[in-house]
Amino acid sequence: MIIRIFLTAVMALVAAALSAQTPVYLDNSADIEDRIEDVMKKLTTEEKIAMIHAQSKFSSPGVKRLGIPEIWMTDGPHGIRPEVFWDDWDQAGWTNDSCVAFPALTCLAATWNEELSYLYGTSIGEEARYRNKTVLLGPGVNIYRTPLNGRNFEYMGEDPFLASEMVVPYIKGVQSNGVAACVKHFALNNNEINRHTSNVIVDDRTLYEIYLPAFKAAVQEGGAWTVMGSYNLYRNQHGCHNEYLLNDILKGEWGFDGVVVSDWGGTHDTDQAIKNGLDLEFGSWTDGLSAGSKNAYDSYYLAAPYLERIRSGKVGTEELDDKVRRVLRLAFRTVMRQDRPMGSMLSDEHYEAARAIGDEGIVLLKNEGSVLPVRPSGDCRILVVGENAVKMMTVGGGSSSLKVQREVSPLKGIEDAFKGQAEVLYARGYIGDPSGEYNGVTTGQNLQDSRTPEELLAEAVSMAKEADYVIFIGGLNKSPHQDCEDSDRSGLGLPYGQDKLVSALAEANGNTIVVNISGNAVAMPWIDEVPAVVQAWYLGSEAGNSIADILSGAANPSGKLPFTFPAALEDCPAHSVGEYPGTRRNDGIWDIEYREGIFVGYRWYEKEKIRPLFAFGHGLSYTEFSYGKASSDSRTLSGDGSLNVSIEVSNTGEMTGKEVVQLYISDLKSSLPRPVKELKGFRKIELEPGETAEVTFTINKDDLSFFDADRHEWVAEPGKFKALIGSSSDDIRSEVTFELK
């Protein structure tokens, strides 16, 4: 009840801030530009060069002579990374650098709730500000192209519209604290295998319709102050100094006035870095002291080599001045603002926010016979099975690995939720990865177990036969080749023999509930054998409490999938017609061609009439929602006008719940191939039992447009369209036909 009262108040404030369409924290652009020009007159060329590259693993120097502070970065996007030594990744040994871990961004996207996205950004921004960070390295909005991508858990799904809508309030929330959000990885970083040597080949239409919209929204609507380049190549140039992506599109077409930051080790060439849009270079060597000079950071591509070119007359200073102006603009927006908020760390409000996001992001995939929520009666026994029920998930996975103050395990959350109602027992079931360490942060858990897989399975099955409910908590983890940076998965299936274990548990107990923890889709060969399946994601510090809230019914599930679960890997377009991981050239570069084009995710499954395991936008509730008949205020739409489509939605069940009403647009006749339908709107509404609400979507020409690569512009062709409204991409409840004049 306390959590509900708190979040009601917070949501009211968030809604007010969002409706104002203005960040709480303003950047006073006109005043900043005058101050920038004043500083530019006072800087030496050497000071300018120093400002555009790192001085340590996570900082760049200011100018002490002029009182310009250092710029400090921190990894996100799910929590504030622990402090490392000046020159390397090893832990600095601080005792006050723990954080609150928020749910992974896949979970945030699964909430389909912009207000929670703003709360997320505000909360993590407060933690970054309290630790005196200038830039939070996140959020990530790379599109989910293949379920094998080890870093998908850090992103916002397969649909460019959903990612665009969810990233904007996150950025505004972070930057309301005077901390810059750094949107990453720009662009086309859609696999981790060969990530430094993959050269993406994709047509312009696909680039603009699928892979760029979320970045554009982050810049033009969210007002992001920094953008991180990607490791991969595009048009045979690395993303961190890519002329087309950074100069032509980001800074040219979109008018980005912030700082382009290299990913750590993403810079490869001084001349390209000078000319092709990179502003701030980081991480060009793992150890900044090993280059054999007085200060190895002076050997970075944008350091001494750049200065030498200027002194010899090989290059001028026009590009340098532009880079420095951008870095100064970042400083004036953040570390040099006198009214910058103070931030807060490890607060009760942040834990409550993490739990609320987790509660709304968990997706109920299946619930036959209403086995969920669990309602103990009499002498009830609940058996929890699986390593993921006890394994800490905040440590590992790459740069998003965290050092937390606390992490509630699923087993602990379930024990607390059913205390006094049922006896909760535990069986290991399988051994996955008993280790728990990343960059010197250790979980402190001892998960070693000498028993054989057969012994573990036999124990779990024996206990399952005596239980009233079996809750299997498995899935992936953040070990290499699962959900982890710098490696991709080897296949769609669950590791460690989990499929065999689930089938055995289901045979032993008809009330077997599967809770899958992952940031990716997984195969479920046992799907017809179990009555209930829950997709739980990586939920951070409050993981166990959020999972228990859903299982017990303390929270009604309202999450919707932000990407499609394929029935088989070969159903995925990147693996059926596209290239993955690509073709290796003689120079060691891997060409990877996106032959599927715009048909990514549900667009492909519907085009090819392939039935997925679970569709994009799918998610069940403990209550029922009925949809009325959609209507529109006009059957025609003029080029510069708009029309409204409305529908009534009712809660016909017995429990208060939230529904995500989804709007898709279908072009009935087009000169170019188009998807069967595309997401163009959504609204999350909360209804009491018996309550009805009217949901209205406004449609304009932009919602009907496709990118014409030959003309290099967005085009909306006159003709007939359908507005499709439903509960998921494969569950359309009503439609309206209209015409664009």
Task: Give the catalytic positions in this structure.
Answer: 263
- In angstroms, the CA 189 to CA 199 distance is 10
Torsion of CA 144, 149, 152, 156, to 10 degrees: -10
Measured between alpha carbons, how far is 95 from 97 in angstroms, rounded to an integer? 6
Helix extents (H) in 298-379: 304-311, 318-333, 348-361
Residues 6+ apart with CB under 8 A from 51: 43, 60, 61, 62, 63, 68, 324, 327, 328
- Distances 552 to 140, 200, 471 between C-alpha atoms, Å: 32, 46, 12
| Neighbour tally for 182: CB within 10 Å | 32
Helical axes 2-19 vs 160-175, angle rounded to 10°: 100
Please state, in angstroms and rounded to a whole number, the distance separating the CA atoms of residues 403 and 52.
Answer: 30
CA distance 128 to 134: 8
**Residue 540 to residues 258, 544, 641, Cα–Cα distance (Å):** 30, 9, 44
Q: For residues 690, 691, 696 and 697, what is the CA-based torsion angle, rounded to 10 degrees?
A: -70
Which residues are 228's β-sheet partners?
261
Q: How big is the chain by its Cα radius of gyration, in Å?
A: 26
- At 516, phi and psi to the nearest 5? -95, 120
From CA 101, how far away is CA 99, in angstroms rounded?
Answer: 6
- Give the integer Cα–Cα distance in Å for 536 and 557: 11
Burial class (CB in 10 A: 0-12, 13-18, 19+), 196: middle
Cβ-Cβ contacts under 8 Å for 594 (sequence gap 6 or more): 145, 200, 201, 202, 203, 206, 574, 578, 579
DSSP code string of 93-120: --SS--BPPPPPHHHHHHHT-HHHHHHH
Sign, Cα dihedral of 405, 348, 683, 138: negative
Contact between residue 332 and residue 40 where contact means Cβ atoms under 8 Å apart: no
User: Strand, coil or helix: what is 722?
Assistant: strand
